[in-house]
Each structure stands twice: as C-alpha cells, then as structure tokens.
Chains A and B, each alone.
Chain A
Amino acid sequence: MSGRQALRLLVDTWRGRFGLAVLGLTVFVAIFGNVIAPYDPTASSLDVLQPPSFDHWLGTTESGEDVFSQLLVGTRTSVVIGFAAALISALLGSAVGIASGYFGGWTDRILDSFENWFLVIPTLPLMIVLARLLDPSLWVLVAVIGLTSWAGTGRIVRAQVMTLRERAFVERARALGASDFYIIKTHVLPNTLPLIFANTVLIIAVAILSEAALSFLGLGDPSRISWGSMLENAFGSGAPSAGAWWYVIPPGLCITVLVLAVTLIGFLYEEIINPRLILDRES
C-alpha cells in the first residue's frame, strides 16, 4: 500500500471522508481553539449552570464558565495526548515486535513473555497506578498511556515479521551477507509499515479514550482543560442530577465522534491488510 493509495482510500469511501472531515476539523480546533473561543474558558461568572442561550451557545458550567469555550480549548489536550501517546506506543510496539520476530530465539522468548504480561495486565488500573505515583501533567499522561498500550502492536508486528523472515527476498539478502540492520531497514520495515500504520490509527482512539478516562477519574493534568476533565467537573458538580444536559452531552459527544472517526479510518486500513475484517458492504 503506497502513500497515494492510502490517501485515495480516505477520499473514495464514505468512512474515509467522514474520518478525514472530523479529523481535519478537530486538528483545526486543536490549533486555533484558544483564538476562536468566545470566552476565557476559566472565567467564572454568576450565570451558573445556565442552559444554552445566544450568549452561551452551549450554556454554562457550575461556576458560570462558558461550556463551548471549554470544549474548543479542551480539544488540544485530547488531540495532543492521543497522537503523542499513540506515537510512543507505535514506536515501542514496532521495535519490540520487529526485534522479537526478526531475531527469534531467546530475544523472542523474553520479549514475547513481556508482551504477554502487558497484554494481560489490565491497562486502566496500571495507568491509574502510574499516574497516581507520578504527578499528573500532560507529558506524564502521554508517557503513561504510551508505555501501557504497546503490547497489542508488538504482538501483531511480531507475527508479520516472522512470516517476512521466511520469505525468499529476506533469505536471499541474508545469504548475500546483508546486515540485520540493512535487512530490517530495506525489507522488513517497508513491508510492516502499513500494518503498523493501521494499528497506530486504532491506538489513537484508545489513547484518546484513556486520557478521557484518567482525566475523568481526576488523574488528568490539573492545569489544562480536556474533554475528560470537563466530564469530571460536570459529574462532580452534580450537573446530571440538575438536568444540565448542555454540560454533560457535548464533551462526551466530541470524544465519541473523534474516536469513531479514527476507528473507522483504522478499520479501513486494517481491512485492506487483513480482508477477514470486513465492515463495508461489497462494492
């Protein structure tokens, strides 16, 4: 799958177009959210828990802040953590997967059991423990999420590399005396990249959800607004019992739509690589 094909796929399918549109809008808001926000998201006022009005499109919070502004500003936290954590996870997972699949033997045995353990240990409790032990900040969250979600990628990459290793062109390169580094760089990596890419896209979704969950549990960066921390504040201040739907629905909906967009793109690429997972109708 070349880069061009990968782009075509996004433009030619409804799922790709939906994903691309949502992703584009989200990234735009993540960059310019502060500028376009009508209010200072942390400026409290006496208009407490007001329903949507002309002044406050999505109403106000329990301390009279503008929900819409918070939503716009909070986008950046979700996007940065989602993408950065997925990147770490992808790098770590690919490195471990390639090493384990390519070198085999004891390297594989040790790395594989490590992978197995990380697959089995429930991720959220592990993230909670790490986030609680360290002082929560944006980059701590990135590290915590990235370091706990790589095992799945490692497993998939390992399987792919193991089949590649037996293929003729790799055997030939080895017989010709090419170094391991060279073979990995020119033969293994290019053939594993589409798989890593598809997986990373799916990990972005996991990372966004993880950030939201940690923030919701009060383990987010206290100096930043995120969709998860908005939900935490909304829930903590009793907004649901007050019937303040304008405060409760938007952050969750944003998370859902972004995760959905990313997941659909991820599935799209996964289907190309592995046609067993077919989501679309035949066309």
Chain B
Amino acid sequence: MNARWLSGKVAAAVFTLLFVIVFNFFLFRVMGDPTEQLARLPRATPEEIDKLRGQYGLDRPLMGQFADYMGDTARLDLGTSQRSRRDVVDEIWDALPWTLLLVGTGTLIATLLGTWMGVKAATRRGKKTDDALLGFNLFTYASPEYWIGILLILVFAVWLPILPSGLQVTPGAQFNSAFAEILDVAKHLILPATAMTLMLLGQYFLIMRSSMVDILTEDFITVKRATGMRWDRVVNRHAVPNALLPLVTLSAIQFGSVVAGAITIETIFSWPGLGELTFQAINDKDFPVLQGTFLIFSFGVILANLLADCLYFYLDPRVQSK
C-alpha cells in the first residue's frame, strides 16, 4: 500500500479527532453550565457546591481547565459518572463489546443482503422483482428504526412469543456451558440485529442498485458479453466489483446513522451497549458519560471512515497509482 497516501489519511483522521476533542470541551464547558451538573446533588449547600467546583477544577480559568481536560483525555481519563460513580472509561469499556456485537452483526448482514438485493434489482430493472425490492427498501429506508424495533417486539415477542423482547441474556439464568450462554445471547441478539439490518438495508440497496444500473450501461459490460461470457459471470466478476466502489465511499458517509441506530435500537431492546448508556445519561443528565459516549462515537465514525478509505484504496487500482 502506498505509504504516503496512507499517512496522509491517518493524519487527516487524527486532525479530525483532535477537532472533536476540542469541540467536545467547548460544547460542554462553554455552552452548558457546568454547575448544572452539580445541581443534581440533592440539597447541596453552596459550600458543598463550591468544594465540588474546586474538585472539578471549575473555579480555574477556562484555559487552565482546557489544559487539564486535554491532559485527562490523553490519559484516557474521561471523568466519573454522576449516576454510578464509576469511571466513565470503565462504563464505556463494559458497554463497547455489546455495541460492537450489535452494530457488527447488523452492518454485516445489511451489507451482504443490501448488495445482493441491489444487484438483483438492477439486473431486473423495471420488472416485478425490481419493483418489489424497491418498494420494500424505500419503506424501511423511510421508517424510523426504533419503530421497526417496536414492531418486531410486538410481533415476535408479544403476539408470537418466540423471542425475548429485550436484554442481552435471560436474567438470572444459570448456564451449564459457554455454548448455552452464547446461544442465549444469540437469541437475544436476533431482534435488535434485525432492526439494525432493516435500518441500514435501504441505504445499501439504493446505492448498490443505482451504482449497478450505472455500471451496466458501460461499454466494457457489452464487450464482456460479446466475448461469449455468461451473463451472471459478467455481472458477478465485472459489474459488481466496479459497482461496489461508490458503495464503499457513500456508506462511509452513513456511519453516523449506524451510531444513531445504536442509540435508539439499544434503548428499545435494553441492550447494554453504548447507546443504552447514552440514553441513561440523557435521562440522568449525566454529562461526563454523555461527553464520553459522544467522544467514543465520534472516534468510531472517524475510524470507520479511515477503514473505508483503505478499503477503497484496496479495491480501486486507479487510486493506487496516483
């Protein structure tokens, strides 16, 4: 891989991350009144609040606070949760795997399914299959993912009670084996992951479909067909790899919506990930946690963008030789 290209991308990502960190500080310290965080303490006397202000360094000048904040962030010290009194980093660390599991499963299935359906629709453009796929995907594209989640609960946990309506494991269950535990988690994962998939599916489908429609009009597709190649080989070997390129770039822009989905879907299913943590923090006005999750979400999206860039670089030889 081209080292100069990569280092440029990494530098840009680091720069963006720095911006987010600085932005994060000003967002919470300048726009929000920090004492509001403390007013949550029941019947706190003015002296106690002053003491706390000193503890948090809030009585110091802004630049001093900023320096402290940058230092703390560099040491991965994101403060203490006001609700649980635990380190925000620990809270995030506990929640992260669950979010990765949910987001990973949802994204993986949505990418595969969306791409596949997009190819099917584009190669049957204007036919019944295309219309049906288009209708279904436009609907899921337009509907709020948490509403889809609620509908899934309604159908699969209430009307046909075959799947759990929330949480990551059956509460209080004792498992004989690790396998039984994994199976239980998988069972709990089905509905939230389906909601996540349905949320992302529409975007991937629409992008892949229009990208395929576009590629299929290219000259080289006619040339490949002229060489006597089977149509499905022309599609799979030549059209799809080219059509994937815009999908990679455009889906990178959509990572923000993955985060949005994590927040609302985890809330619906009481899935103990970063989204649930965010929702709790909203309700409790737990600003250190909110600040921490905002930072980790931004970091996640920046990292995902960087990975998408690398994937694009790998997939498109035209970028490599520039």
Contact = CB atoms under 8 A, between A and B. Distances in A.
Interface of A: 116-117, 119-126, 128-130, 132-134, 152, 205, 209, 212-213, 216-219, 228, 231, 234-235, 240-243, 245, 248-249, 251-252, 255-257, 259-260, 263-264, 276-279, 281-282
Interface string B19-47: 11001000110011000000000000000
A277 B143 contact: no
B16 A120 contact: yes
Contacts of B294: 125-126, 128-129
A255 B147 CA distance: 10
Size range of the chain B interface in the assembly: 35 or more
A133 B28 contact: yes
Given A133-B31, A235-B150, A252 B263 contact: no
A183 B216 CA distance: 40
Contact of A279 (B28, B210, B282, B301): B210
Contact of B16 (A116, A240, A263): A116
B311 interface: no
Contacts of B153: 240-241
Interface of B: 16, 19-20, 23, 27-28, 31-32, 125-126, 130, 134, 138-139, 141-144, 146-148, 150-151, 153-154, 157-159, 165, 206, 210, 213-214, 253, 255-257, 259-260, 263-264, 267-268, 278-279, 282-283, 285, 287, 290-291, 293-294, 297-298, 300-302, 305
A123 B282 contact: no
Nearest to B153: A240
Nearest to B211: A276
The A contact surface, by secondary structure, is helix
A119 B253 contact: yes
A255 B264 CA distance: 16
Interface-centre pick from A124, A134, A213 (highest chain B CB count, 10 A): A124
18 contacts: A117-B20, A120-B20, A120-B298, A125-B260, A128-B282, A129-B27, A217-B264, A218-B282, A231-B147, A235-B268, A240-B158, A243-B159, A245-B154, A248-B154, A257-B142, A278-B214, A279-B210, A282-B126
